[in-house]
Amino acid sequence: MLNKNITTLGVAAAILLSAQSGIAQANETPINGTVQSRCIIQTDTAGTFGNPNAYTLTTASADGGENAVIRIDVTLANSYYAEITAPSEFSSSPTLPDQVTWTGDTEVKTVSDSTTMGAYESGKVELGMMDRYDLTATGSTWFKTSSVATMGGNKAFPGGNYTALVQADCIAK
Amino acid sequence: MTKMKYIIAALVLAISSVAYSHEMVPTYPELTISHIDGLQKTTVTIFNKRAEVEYYEIGVFTEEWEPIPFVSNYKIYKIPYLSTVSVEIYVRKEDKDRTTYICSMSKLRKKQVTRTAIKSRICSLVKQKRL
């Protein structure tokens, strides 16, 4: 009889506990967040240099390289400039035997909305290796940057690792 | 078999759409009076979604991109991947009218970069300078 009562009490306690935990689980926990306008710079493809001959490093795909691709997302129209600067020096390299001549260019590869962003490429301002785009619409823009480094006097690039930096700026206006 | 094709296609899409990003808000921070006499204060928040980048440098500039002296806990912040850091920036009251841009720039470690790399910089415009 005593055992039966204990069992009954145990079952009742278990039901109460599970009911309480059920109530706890039903509580609403707020998840707070704030939406703010912003610019997001995404590194889509870092890019690679190909080495078609001894004195040239290039990102051209025909020469075994790969262009750098940067995606910039803006959530507020007419609020940002994008400035993409192709490299004009190596950030790390072996000791070089001569001066290196750099050429490079940036162009719009794709846009998320061709109606509102279609004029980005024709409207860009080029200042040396830097191309400035006025981001007049919300959405995503993919920029493609090519780079060619040529060693002076047709001398060969010494063996080793070479790194050059593409700079992507998003500047509020 | 068709199901498997869909799964593979979804995986390929998911992998190919992975991108690494750098974000900073607000777009237009406002310099306000701080608790320290003679200093103006603002706060920016940086989100690091670039797996290959751990450090970001803060800079404050004039309209002509001349650096302006400022105080924050660090000049270079360690922001682990998928982390957010809020940075309090203090400028002198006499520099308030010259302060135009507040920027965060990715810092790449030599050992982490491959043959080419992308340096990202986001600059907010101080609200008082907005036309």
Residue A103 counted as domain residue: yes
Token digits for A56? 């040239």
pLDDT in tens, A40-70: 999 899 899 999 999 999 999 999 999 999 9
The CATH number assigned to the domain holding A136 equals: 2.60.40
Give the per-residue pLDDT at A3. 57
Measured CA to CA, the distance from residue A86 to residue A20 in angstroms comes to 63
Residue A5 counted as domain residue: no
Residue A30 counted as domain residue: no
Residue A150 pLDDT > 90: yes
Residue A71 pLDDT > 60: yes
Question: pTM score, two decimals?
Answer: 0.80
Give the per-residue SS3 of B48-59.
EECCCCCEEEEE
Give the count of domains, chain A: 1
Contacts of A38 in chain B (CB under 8 A): 23-27
Would you list which residues of chain A are within 8 Å, Cβ to Cβ, of chain B?
Answer: 36-44, 46-49, 59, 68, 70-71, 73, 76, 79-80, 87, 91-92, 147, 161-173
Confirm if B122 and B104 have CB atoms less than 8 A apart: yes
Give the per-residue pLDDT at A105. 96
B128: confidence class by pLDDT, cuts 50, 70, 90: confident
Give me the interface pTM, i.e. the ipTM.
Answer: 0.79
- Burial label for A82, CB within 10 Å (0-12, 13-18, 19+), is buried
Confirm if B103 and B5 have CB atoms less than 8 A apart: no
Measured CA to CA, the distance from residue A111 to residue B14 in angstroms comes to 20
| Partner-chain contact A38 B27, CB within 8 Å | yes
CA distance to partner chain B, nearest, from residue A118 (Å)? 23
Residue A21 counted as domain residue: no
User: Which residues are within 8 A (CB) of A30 and not within 5 positions of it... i.e. 6 or more apart?
Assistant: none
CATH no., domain B22-125: 2.60.40.10
What residue numbers bound the domain in which A146 lies?
39-172
